[in-house]
């Protein structure tokens, strides 16, 4: 089963939130290995948000896969390994019986984590670009809908088919992860330049194809 | 000494306020209100709310209890049981 989940952090907001590094806060969110990674890094705050986004994208994938009601138990998500190559990170994470590989990209604007996948693509919008994108979806008779447990998907109103979609919004950014093979070819062609970016094989993580992340 | 339920809810309301993104739902806040689904609170702020609750009521919330603290009603129950013990 392919899993989908993503999380974006707007670094321009996150970079001033030093209260997150209080020991009481760290102990509620992270396990010993994770706290060690944060406190021993060159930028503890950046590491805090990186680890948080890894956990959040893992949680989203798990919640969707198990169709679970929302829970808040960040310590049940365990980051087992963490490999940084330049500003890219590959981490292996477990939540209950799931093991996932999460990729993270760090730029001067954002920290973005997503479940490594061969079939899901990622796209990062600025908020105003995202509203244009949503308008285009609506024009094509698609809608972004949420289940009772809060899990989003793209609904094709013509044939009532649902495609999984993971959305994350923070500050000036909205990131989506989506399966391009599920969305109809009609919308693919129409919006090709707009929403779809080609997969780029990534030599650093050769087991996976990593989509290119870009703004327009 | 029993603590008034409405008093706890009023305190909770002022704790969550800075993190709320859906002000309309916030005006209607009741025991059924969910922090993320209804108030559109960013999940990264749940821990801030929990730490504020601990400070405001002078209680310590365990991981197992924190797991359920996603609504006003669930938080109320946990706070009440902590204050009673």
A185 vs B7, residue with greater confidence = B7
pLDDT of residue A216 exceeding 90, the answer is no
Percent of chain A residues past pLDDT 70, beyond the cut: 82
Q: What average pLDDT does chain A have?
A: 82
The nearest CA of chain A is from the CA of B77 a distance in Å of 16
Q: How many CB atoms lie within 10 A of CB A216?
A: 10
- B48 contacts on A by Cβ (under 8 Å): 19, 25
State both tokens at A130. Answer: 């995202």
Predicted pLDDT at A205: 30
Q: Round to the nearest angstrom and report the end-to-end CA distance of chain B.
A: 11
pLDDT of residue A20 exceeding 90, the answer is yes
- B70 contacts on A by Cβ (under 8 Å): 70-72
Residues 6+ apart with CB under 8 A from B10: none
Mean pLDDT, residues A136-153: 86
The SS3 of residue B38 is coil
Half-sphere exposure of A98 (CA within 13 A, CB side): 23
Predicted pLDDT at A93: 97
Report how far residue A90's alpha carbon sits from residue A131's, in angstroms, rounded to the nearest whole number.
31
Number of residues assigned to chain B: 85
B42, A56: Cβ pair inside 8 Å? Answer: no
Predicted pLDDT at A203: 28
Residue B19 belongs to domain with CATH number: 1.10.1200.10
Confidence of residue A180 (pLDDT cuts 50, 70, 90): low
Nearest to A72 among B42, B54, B69 (CB): B69
Count structural domains, chain B: 1
Predicted pLDDT at A47: 97
* Residue B9 belongs to domain spanning: 5-84
pLDDT of residue A162 exceeding 70, the answer is yes
Tell me the pLDDT tens digit for each residue of A74-101: 999 999 999 988 889 999 999 998 999 9
Confidence of residue A5 (pLDDT cuts 50, 70, 90): very high
Residue bearing tokens 């109320």: B76
Predicted pLDDT at A52: 98
Q: Round to the nearest angstrom and report the end-to-end CA distance of chain A.
A: 31
A25, B47: Cβ pair inside 8 Å? Answer: yes
A19 backbone dihedrals φ, ψ, rounded to 5°: -65, -15
A28, B47: Cβ pair inside 8 Å? Answer: yes
pLDDT of residue B10 exceeding 60, the answer is yes
pLDDT of residue A32 exceeding 90, the answer is yes
Predicted pLDDT at A87: 83
Report how far residue A141's alpha carbon sits from residue A157's, in angstroms, rounded to the nearest whole number.
6
Q: Hey, which residues 11-70 in chain B have their CB within 8 Å of chain A?
A: 34, 36-37, 42-44, 46-48, 50-51, 54, 63, 66-70
Closest CA to A44 of A17, A9, A7: A17
Predicted pLDDT at B35: 97
Confidence of residue A212 (pLDDT cuts 50, 70, 90): very low
- A111 contacts on B by Cβ (under 8 Å): none
The answer to whether A188 touches A180, Cβ cutoff 8 Å, is yes
The nearest CA of chain A is from the CA of B31 a distance in Å of 17
pLDDT of residue B71 exceeding 70, the answer is yes
């Amino acid at each position: 089963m392919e899993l989908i989940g993503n999380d974006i952090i707007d670094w321009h907001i996150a970079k001033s939130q030093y209260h997150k590094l209080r020991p009481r806060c760290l102990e509620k969110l992270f396990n010993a290995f994770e706290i060690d990674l944060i406190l021993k890094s060159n930028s503890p705050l950046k590491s805090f948000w990186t680890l948080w986004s890894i956990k959040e994208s893992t949680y989203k994938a798990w919640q969707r896969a198990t169709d679970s009601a929302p829970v808040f138990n960040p310590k049940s998500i365990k980051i087992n390994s963490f490999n940084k190559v330049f500003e890219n990170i590959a981490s292996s994470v477990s939540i209950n019986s799931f093991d996932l590989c999460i990729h993270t990209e760090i730029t001067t604007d954002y920290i973005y984590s997503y479940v490594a996948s061969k079939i899901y693509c990622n796209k990062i919008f600025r908020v105003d670009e995202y509203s244009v994108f949503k308008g285009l979806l609506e024009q094509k008779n698609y809608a972004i809908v949420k289940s009772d447990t809060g899990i989003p998907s793209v609904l094709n109103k013509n044939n009532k088919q649902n495609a999984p979609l993971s959305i994350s919004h923070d500050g000036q950014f909205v990131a989506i992860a989506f399966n391009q093979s599920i969305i109809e070819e009609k919308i693919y062609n129409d919006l090709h330049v707009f929403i779809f970016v080609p997969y780029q094989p990534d030599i650093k993580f050769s087991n996976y194809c990593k989509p290119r992340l870009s703004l327009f | 000494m029993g603590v008034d339920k409405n008093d706890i809810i009023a305190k909770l309301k002022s704790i969550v306020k800075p993190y709320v993104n859906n002000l309309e739902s916030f005006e209607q806040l009741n025991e059924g209100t969910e922090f993320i689904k209804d108030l559109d609170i960013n999940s990264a702020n749940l821990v801030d709310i929990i730490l504020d609750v601990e400070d405001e009521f002078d209680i310590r919330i365990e991981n197992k209890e924190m797991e359920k603290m996603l609504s006003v009603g669930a938080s109320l129950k946990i706070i009440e049981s902590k204050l009673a013990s």
